[in-house]
Structures are given as C-alpha cells and as structure tokens.
A and B are shown apart, each in its own frame.
Chain A
C-alpha cells in the first residue's frame, strides 16, 4: 500500500473501502465492455445478422428524412412565396396598371407589386424555346395585357392569401388572377404529412430495434443461465451479472446505428448524380441538401441508448427469474 506523502496518515477505513469499491466498479465496467465485445466477436454471423437488421431498420427513416428534406429544399428553391399574377383586361392602359399597383402597395397584406408591361411579357415569351417564331409572326401587334406581379407579405397563411386573391379578382380592371402559390401550399401540406410519417416510422422502427436487441440479449442470457447461476451463488449482485449484457445491448445499438448512418450516406451518394443533373436543369438554383453530420453521429448514439434500454428491460426480467 502506498503511504500518503503529505499528511503521513493513512486514509480512514471507510474511505479506503469506498475507493476500492469504486476502482472495482470501474474495472468491472471495463471488463464487461471488452468481454461483451469478445462474445459478440465469438459468433460473428449472429452478430452481423442482428447488426444488419438494426442498421436497415434505422436507415429507413433516415432515407425518408433525406428525401423529404430535399423535396422541401426544392420547393424552397422554386419559390417560398410565389407572386400572384394579376392580368389586366386587354383594354386597360398603363395608367390604370400604375394606379392599381399603387393602390395595392398600400395594402397590409401586400409586400411588393411589380408591373410587367406587354412588351416585357412578349420579350420573355420570345426567350422561351419554341415561341420565338410565334412572336415574330405577330409583327407589331402585341396581344399581351399589362400584368401586376403581387408579392404577398411573408408569413401570410393560406387563408389570408386566398382573401387577397379573391379581393384582386373583384377589381374592375382585372381579367384573370393566377395564384401560383397554391402548388406550394399543397406541397407544404404533403411535406407535413411526410414529416409525420417519418416520425411515426422512426418511432415504430426504434421500437422494433429495441425488441430486436432485447430478444438477442434474452437468448444470450438464456444460453448463459448456468454461468449466471454460478455468479449469483458466489455473491454477484444482479447489477454485476447484468453489466456485460447491457454492454452487449450498447454494442448492438452502436454498430446498428453506425451501419444505418453508412447506409444513409450510401443512399445520399447514389442520389448525388441525378440530383446534380436536376440542379443543372434548374440553372443551379436548387440547393439539394445532405444529411447533417450531427444526425449521422446522433443516430449511432441514440441506437446505443435504445440497445441499452432493450437489454436493461430484458435482463431485469430474466435475472429476476434466474434469482
């Protein structure tokens, strides 16, 4: 035993005993972690199967998450708050367009109004593939009306945008109102459902992962019932007996979660080519997202916690029977 260097007194017996117990506890944790890892390695096929089931189960919600995030990102790139196109009647002149625009700018639910002249409309049409010939055929006649692009104030809900649209339709000078934001509302609604589905799926698959780990640990405990009996007879507490099985649960979860993250990355890589093509088609305006690094790290950690919970529940029940 080392003599204390400063005081020259030995530590009280209870302190020494506490320190010894703590050191023993730490040592057994280390032993349990490595022993459980060795046991997993001793039956590689079974371990791989369990880890593969966990990995696939946890990769599924990640893949859905990736898909939804990209659809949302595409939706954002194509216009978070698209403008309402207000086509004036053909007989309305620029003065009426300016008058109506200044009226609309005064409204609380309108953020901005842009006036598009018939010439600007014709120029835009001419740039579109296949329309240039038709535009030239018009000679000097321009059938296009004045158009107001009304940008609703950001944060307006669908109902308020509908009220604004209805109000625009009621204007005497207006021929047609086109609310291109409706597709966005529908997309948002679909994404909302998608997010909910991902959450439910993640919950169900997490429960499945918990059951898979629980069942594997239950089989493990059942196959080692003799060893457990001996340990209990020579004075091991249930916590002591349980520890290697809890670590086994943690390892299963950690490896399964890591595999899920790797699978999700593989899916991301597989989609990278087509996504880049899509982005090019939209002139580089799409920002297609990748899975955030924190999520890729969090999945194995959360899976390890799940594995621990599964092993804890099953081992408590099994050891109660054994005791």
Chain B
C-alpha cells in the first residue's frame, strides 16, 4: 500500500469520521508497521461502529502486536459476543490462552478454529502442542503413583494445582533418591530439579541420553527424541561462529512456544535443561550450571 493511499484514506476519514475507510486504513498502517497509529484509528472506529466485527478483530490483532494481551482478549470477546462462530477470534484467543497456560480453554478455541480452517498450520501446530501438553498434565498423577520421572512430569504441569502437587512430589522424589542420586543415571539430576516444570538430560556425542530422563505419561521417551535432533549441534555451532572468530560455543538457549531449552557442552557431550516457558530464562540457566557440575562429577566417578 503506497503512502499516497494512506494519505487519501486519512483525508476521507477526516472528512467523514463515520466512514468505514478506517478499516483498510488501519490495516495499511499495520502492514507498514505503524502500530500506534493503526491501533488508535482502529479503536476509534470500533467505538463508533460497535457492531462491526472486523473492527474489533483488528483492534485485537493490533493489541496483540503491541503485546497487550488483555486488550486483545477484550476485543476478541466483543467479536464472539457478536458472532460466536468468528474463526479469527477463536484462533487468536486460542493462541493467547495457550501462551498463558490456560490449556483447556486454548484447546476449545483452537479446535474450533482448526475445524473452520483445517489448512491453518499455525493453529494445527498449536492444537497438537496443547493436546500433547494436556495429555502429559493429566498423566502427572499416574507418573507420580508409579514413582517414575516426577520432575519430568512436572515440566508441563501448568495448572496451578498440578504444579503444586508436582512440585511437592518432585521434592519428595528428590529427598527419597538423594542417597542414590549418584548411582542412578536416570535420576542423576532429580535433587537439582526439585523445582517443578524442568527436566535435565546428559547427552553423549551421538545424541543418546546418558543420564536424566524425560518420559511422558504414555511412555514416550522424549529425551531420546530431543537428543537425536540435537546431535551435532555443537559441531555446527563451532563451524558457524568460526566465521566470526568467536571461539568455542559455551551455551545455547532456545525459546519455543511452550518451553525454554538451555544447553551447554561438556567435553564431547552436552547437558540440556528444558523448562516450561513460565520458568524465567535466568533460572533455567542457573539450573543448567548446577546440572553441569553434577554431570562433571558423575562422569568422573561413574564412567
């Protein structure tokens, strides 16, 4: 959209404030990255045309682009008040709820959005992730009962009650296993992972898990899958940064929609910590440092 078009639409809107030209004008400003002006125009338009669904949707999208989730939720709420089947509002609310960890609500909205637009890959991926996380969350009790991987199960226990229970369980597990932590590879990091929502793994140079574990409630070994995909990352990292003469790689941090992953080399091996997104990155790094110390000691003693 050329600047001339924006100028022309601005003039039209100034001459007739009741005009619906505010919609393409705000969209054009959004496309140009002028979020503040686009948001102001969209909000005025939505206030003047409270029955205009697209106006509220635009207000919501702009609010989200500005990081104001509360305003986005309110605007999409207004959209659904006018048309409960408006797909974009379900899509937006689903993604916001997902980010907030309100998984059941996220699943409802995303499932509806996916039903309306099966080709929307973003919605599809988010829905798959939410369903996976919910399956894990609901499996916390089963895992705790079997005494396996309490710390691992806690990673995605985003519901407050589940998180608290998982936290307590992880502490119990840590205390119970403190005496054997050095001897049990799978539970090597349990005493460190007393806090809920974190898992830690020691990967060998083939990407195989040497210590720690991440087993889901349905028995899936996510540790091995993560390790397999991250095999060779260290070599590639060193090759990449060699071009800028930055020396050897020392830490890697990856932020995803649902988790933060921190990784560090340990000789030819690597230690990896994954934590729920609501665990601060600094805390994840601190956990990684402690896991490195434990792994170094264990490798000296155990292998």
Q: Do A and B come from one complex?
A: no
- Give the A-binding residues of B (Cβ under 8 A): none
- Give the B-binding residues of A (Cβ under 8 A): none
